Amino acid sequence: MESLARVTDAVLDVLEVLIGPDEDLYGLKIAQAAGRKTGVVYPILNRLEEAGWVDSFWERAERTDRGPRRRFYRLDPQALNAARSLLLERRGVVRQRSSTGRLAPTGLGVRRLNHGTGAGR
Amino acid sequence: MNGWLGLLVVGLLLPLVVNEFGDVSHWLARRVLAWGARRLGASDMVERYTEEWQADLECVPGRLTKLGYALGVVVWGVPRLRLQIRLRHRRQPKVDTPEKATEVSAGTRVRPWEGLARRERHAVCIAEAKNGDKRAFDVLIAELTPLVWHVARGNRLNRNAAEEVTQDVWLELVHTLGSFDEPRGLTTWLITSTRRLARQRRTDDASAENHRPDVDDKAPVLRQAHGKALWRAFHRLPSSSQELLRLTVLASREYYDVVAIELGLEAEQVVAARGEALGHLRRLYGDEIRHEGLAHRPGSSWQIAED
């Protein structure tokens, strides 16, 4: 696992999504949850993958005639601590983002905050 | 209404009000994404992102347009990914196998239309497309669909009809490609063909003639009164003025010379014609807001809610 060069705010937003509770994270979903443009997020995910922080995989094994498969992204377990440290270092807090609202850790556990855009992005 | 106010309102609002190009159909977004993915070069990346982006395209929710997604990925994402891929190749020692060679050469395969001025670029793309190079055709589609769209809409087609005519024009080009020979250039052919198909469409389908233009109320600026008034005023303009404004205000300066040819004007006269059309639009807009009893002061009476 390599360290990340050029950690931008967008990278941190993407990491907050990746450490969040959502499953089946495909590029568009990550971009929406992070509030970032897809054109910015795909390259970030590629960098994370090349650095060994993220794995990606097809939603099913074979390309059948059910159409194109989505590519799911998952934080590599070995990168979880690194991601948390990075967020703590740059933002002073480790937050998670999900597509249904933002979760913020408190001292006593996890409390759900409304993201303000209503339920269900 | 005040001249300066008209100028301000029209200048600011018109692109927002009329630039509804985003909702072109699915197939165009797919083509743009396929073209963008091919530009990545490395064949494994091309294959992976082609499928990944097509799949994500299906998940684009209602508020974003599919073409907006496609263009965002291609304009912002592809250049960065290309750079990352090049850096990756440089970091890894190259094994001199035939497979590796193809991988690199796929990215550096000659694109003969690059760096050319518009007319030459189109001519080369047509020639390459005739030889079976699909990428060349996709370049044309990506670049020129706004033109086709705006001509279709300027010829009084509603959005569905304009979408279909846009597809039909490209399909016609595909079918006649083998014998395509237009000395006046591709853009002229596209404009002429689009107008022809639009006319046919209007005669075939009387209900396509909209006297009440279809307001896209998803656009924030059209949810308030001044935006709607400008929209109505725009659609009261004669076809030729609508088309002229769409092409010169909304498409790009590049098309001034094409517009000149189509209208039988010198290029400089296009600027004057555009000024006249804008003046006409301001007067119609003034009528609309007087008719609706709307206030004349912009700041207090409307806010554009930006997404």
CB–CB of A71 and B58 under 8 A? no
How high is the pLDDT of residue A116?
41
Q: Best residue in B69, B73, B91, B307 to probe A by mutation, most A CBs within 10 Å? A: B73
pLDDT at B109 exceeding the cut of 70 = no
pLDDT of residue B32: 79
Asked if B33 reaches chain A (Cβ–Cβ under 8 Å), the answer is: no
pLDDT band, residue A24 (cuts 50/70/90): very high
Burial of B168-186, coded b for 16+ CB within 10 Å and e otherwise, reads bbbebbeeeeeeeebeebb
Asked if B55 and A68 come within 8 Å (Cβ–Cβ), the reply is yes
- pLDDT top residue among B128 and B27: B128
Model pLDDT for residues B64-89, shown as the tens digit of each residue:
467 778 878 887 899 899 999 988 88
Q: Please answer whether residues B258 and B188 qualify as being in contact, where contact means their C-beta atoms are separated by less than 8 angstroms.
A: yes
- Rounded Cα distance, A20 and A95, in Å: 8
Q: Which amino acid is at B251?
A: A
A118 has a chain B CB within 8 A of its CB? no
pLDDT at residue B8, as a whole number: 57
Question: How many other β-carbons are positioned within 10 Å of the β-carbon of residue B254?
Answer: 13
Residue count (chain B): 307
**Which residues 54-83 of A have a C-beta within 8 angstroms of B?**
58-59, 63, 67-71
pLDDT of residue A88: 93
Residue A1, chain B, CB below 8 Å: the answer is: no
pLDDT reported for residue A84:
93
pLDDT in tens, A47-100: 999 999 999 999 988 777 778 999 999 999 989 999 999 999 999 989 999 888
Cβ atoms < 10 Å from Cβ of B223: 14
Place of tokens 């309102």: B9
Residue B74 with chain A: CB contacts under 8 Å: 39
Percentage of the residues of chain A whose pLDDT score is greater than 90: 61
* pLDDT at res. B216: 53
Question: Which residues of chain B have a CB within 8 Å of the CB of A47?
Answer: 84
What pLDDT is attached to residue B48? 95
Closest residue in A to B57 (Cα) is A28
> What distance in Å separates the CA atoms of residue A25 and residue A99, rounded to the nearest whole number?
10
Q: How far away is chain A from the Cα of B115, in angstroms, using its nearest Cα? A: 24
CA–CA separation, B62 vs B105, rounded Å?
A: 39
Alpha helices, H only, chain B: 3-18, 26-38, 43-57, 66-72, 78-91, 98-108, 118-130, 134-154, 159-176, 186-204, 225-236, 239-245, 256-263, 267-292, 298-301
Identify all chain B residues contacting A38, using CB atoms and an 8 Å cutoff.
56, 69, 72-73, 76-77
pLDDT value of position A28:
95
Mean pLDDT for A21-38 is 93
The per-residue pLDDT for B120 is 85
Q: Least CA distance to A63: which residue of chain B?
A: B51
Asked if A47's CB is within 8 angstroms of B55's CB, the reply is no
Average pLDDT rounded to a whole number, residues B147-165: 82
pLDDT score of B99 more than 50 = no
Task: Pick from A38-47, B150-159, B224-233, B283-292 the range whose average pLDDT is largest.
Answer: A38-47
Higher-confidence residue: B257 or B144? B144
Is the pLDDT assigned to residue B9 strictly greater than 80?
A: no
User: Within 13 Å, how many C-alpha atoms sit on residue B289's CB side?
Assistant: 24
Q: Decide if B17 contacts B222 (C-beta within 8 A).
A: yes
pLDDT band at B1 (very low <50, low <70, confident <90, very high): very low
CA nearest to A14, candidates A86, A52, A33, B55: A33
pLDDT at residue B121 tops 80 = yes
A20-29, A94-103, B98-107, B162-171, range with greatest mean pLDDT? A20-29
Looking at every residue in chain B, the average pLDDT score rounds to 74
Residue of chain A with shortest Cα separation from B60: A28
The residues in B 72-131 lying below 8 A from A, measured between CB atoms, are: 72-78, 80-81, 84, 88
